[in-house]
Amino acid sequence: MAELDTQTLPVLPLPNGVVLPGSVVTLALDGPEAKAAVAAALGGDSLVLLVPNIDGRYARVGVVAMVEQAGELPNGITGVVLRGMHRALVGAGVNGSDGLRVQADPIPDPTEASPRAQELSRELRGVLTVLGERRRSRRLPELLRTVNEPGALADGFGSWSDLPADKKVQLLETTDVEERVQRAITWARDMLAEHELNERIRTEVADGMESTQREFLLRRQLDAIRKELGETGDDEDAVENYRTKIAASHMPDDVRAAAIREVDKLERTSEQSPEHGWIRTWLDWMTDLPWGVRTDERDDVVEARSILDADHTGLEEPKDRIVEYLAVRALKQRRDESRKATDESGPTEGDTPEAGEEPVADVKQPYERGNGVILALVGPPGVGKTSLGESIARALHRNFVRVSLGGVRDEAEIRGHRRTYVGALPGRIVRAIKESGSMNPVVLLDEVDKMGADYRGDPSSALLEVLDPAQNQTFRDHYLEVDLDLSDVLFLATANVADTIPGPLLDRMEVVRLDGYTEEEKVAIARDHLWARQVERNGLEPADVSADDVTLRKVVTEYTREAGVRGLERTLGKLLRKFAAEVAKGTVVPPVALGVDDVRTYLGRPRFFDEPAERTSVPGVATGLAVTGVGGDVLFVEATSMEGEAGLTLTGQVGDVMKESAQIALSFVRSHAAELGLDPVEIAKKRFHVHVPAGAIPKDGPSAGVTLTTALVSLLTGRPVRSDVAMTGEVTLQGKVLPIGGLKQKVLAAERMGITTVIFPKRNEPDLDDVPEAVRERMTFHALADVREVLEIALAPAPAGAGAVEPEVAAA
């Protein structure tokens, strides 16, 4: 391209667009400045400088254009045809007689394009070729045929495209050809990608609409054909099927009316409507529920007790309570049947009204529905709470279903979700009724003490209606929205501890405690139930291996120490797995009777031994009793003293209540030092440290008061605590021993530990009746009211030369 000189040209601002070199445009001149600029150009060499004005900013680079034609447009406005020639840098302005002129420094494209520019030009040409085919443009192929220079091709793309004005300004101000072509390639690719996306969306929408319309037309044609043939469609079949199921069911009248309304709505609803599926799901649930279906209960009390005894060893209290429930229910049913028969027989002769008397209306007494018994089986893990629920259902000849509530935090899990939610379902109670197949099953609410609560609601509050006999006759699930009679359902609940069950919920339940098994009961359970089950699970035959009670007792006492039998079953499984491995290797040939020595061979050294004798061999250590979530437990309290500032340090992760008990114990010892044979002055100089081992386990409660007092007195007197003695009880500042809870569990824990003497509060003496008689015969019990009596029994005689203080010295 020939060298161009700087020119002074009239300026034509472009407020609404951008003109690029090589393009021909028609502009309307609607202002005096524009008309003056065109007139000045026509009066000279017909050149004018076009400068875009976007958002109040003039571009740095303009386009020198030639005015090819000027005249009046059809709408009466003056117009002009301009052809863009080349770029020019906008310079200084000069006011002339014919208007504003500016210096225009030409910026021509190079005559020879660089290899890089040619390569980019070929790439741009390829992208524009595809874009022209996709958009079916006629101008773009013509541009590709007539333009060869890279810069002119990029300018032609800018003029053809619908790029925003700011991007066209960027293209105009890009004087470097390679950079300009690169920008054009990027924007052309974006336009191609956007076009392909829009086409894909348009195609998918069109295909979906065509498919829906086609399906609709085909279904209408199919319905018309079936109507001509006298057949019915699938939807009509479904409606008639629902009507048949509803008619055959024993739904209450109000429930049946609600179901029929939904069937009528289903008949009017199109299959394409989402509501069609929601209605069918609701009707499926309604027709699947066992309306009016009840199992015949067993009212033979003796047979029911024999079933409970066959399934479980021990657990006398819950068994007695179930038998009582069955007996009361049987008597009430007989009474109701007798009353009903009397009502149906009509009035007797003496009941006929005389002439002239007004007949008295017959007011029938309502028959009672259910007796409202809701049992809560509370006890440590592994004592058989869940399996006892299954046995209760078998004894009553009812269906059994288990509902696990551990970790449930959503109230909708109990009552269900409302039908307005996507994927809504009934709650667990309705699902349990459907699963059981009858309206009078035994429903076991497992782990009710482990329910939570959060922003979604409190499931324990939703259970209040379920477990209230006065309300559950009209239980309403949020999904079904009809009354469901739960009065014939026997609800059983299980929990490890009753303390975490909300008060209103616990008030609706009758607590039956399963405190654990004695040593004899564990041996019997292992012999009668666990051994045969583990033999089968480990691939052995009953004739291959056996074990007598002595062998089983060794496993119970030396390899397990728990309230239940879950760990015992695992230990027996381990024993039989080891034996099965020996049989598989051929080193042992069955049948074999395992003995005490074989237990040590297969299970290794004993895991438990006589710990109290070792721990309490020195003064300052006492044995206490506690209740935890896994049953009763034995804990040791250690006390020591040192010279220093008077005070008390407590360790072992003890709670606030236990800390207060320790402070009370120390205060009692200090205030009654002379009475206990101690020197008050020496005690005042000492700092005491009380530690409860197993520091990783939290401990709390007031029942360790006597144990703490005994440990401190043992330390100060030098008299060790008897190793066969364990104690429990709250202590006061006057030395009174107050009652505690969980005596049975504590006694069973002491017996498992090999302790033979238990000291407990005098006011807990009636609770001793709950302890199994076999345990009471083997152990010695002391019901005491004062801590001084506890010290007389618990402390061993002082050894010669011990640190006990003479009374006269203490008095001084």
Catalytic residues: 703, 746
DSSP letter string, 606-666: -S---HHHHHTTSTTEEEEEEEETTEEEEEEEEEEEEESSSEEEEESSB-HHHHHHHHHHH
Is 323 exposed, middle or buried, given 0-12, 13-18 or 19+ CB atoms closer than 10 A?
middle
Q: Is the Cβ–Cβ distance between 304 and 404 less than 8 Å? A: no
Is 79 exposed, middle or buried, given 0-12, 13-18 or 19+ CB atoms closer than 10 A?
middle
- Enter the tokens of residue 794: 């618990």
> What's the CA gap between 573 and 582, in Å, rounded?
14
Q: What does DSSP say about strands 78-96 and 99-107: parallel, antiparallel, or unpaired? A: antiparallel
Output helix, strand, coil percentages for the chain, rounded to the nearest 5.
45, 20, 35
Torsion of CA 752, 754, 759, 765, to 10 degrees: 50
Tell whether omega for the bond before 108 is within 30 degrees of 0, i.e. cis. Answer: no
Residue 175's Cβ-side half-sphere holds a number of Cα atoms within 13 Å equal to: 14
Of 379, 330, 375, 378, nearest in space to 467 by CA: 375
> What's the CA gap between 524 and 368, in Å, rounded?
42
Torsion of CA 481, 482, 486, 488, to 10 degrees: -160
Alpha carbon 728 to its chain's center = 39
Of 496, 523, 565, 526, nearest in space to 774 by CA: 523
Is 495 exposed, middle or buried, given 0-12, 13-18 or 19+ CB atoms closer than 10 A?
buried
> What's the CA gap between 444 and 441, in Å, rounded?
9
Radius of gyration of the chain (CA): 48
> What's the CA gap between 794 and 719, in Å, rounded?
10
Q: Tokens 């202002």: give the residue.
A: 31
A 10 A CB-CB count for 33 gives: 14
- Give first-to-last CA distance, the chain, whole Å: 127
Of 20, 247, 341, nearest in space to 153 by CA: 20
> What's the CA gap between 78 and 94, in Å, rounded?
26
Structure letter (DSSP) for residue 699: B
> What's the CA gap between 691 and 653, in Å, rounded?
9
Alpha carbon 370 to its chain's center = 34
Q: Is the Cβ–Cβ distance between 783 and 739 less than 8 Å? A: no
Alpha carbon 377 to its chain's center = 25
Give φ, ψ of 442 to 5 degrees: -100, 115
- Enter the tokens of residue 663: 């402070």
Of 217, 204, 138, 171, nearest in space to 18 by CA: 171
- Enter the tokens of residue 473: 């006759």
Which residues have a Cβ under 8 Å from the Cβ of 682 and sit 6 or more positions away?
805
Q: Is the Cβ–Cβ distance between 62 and 50 less than 8 Å? A: yes
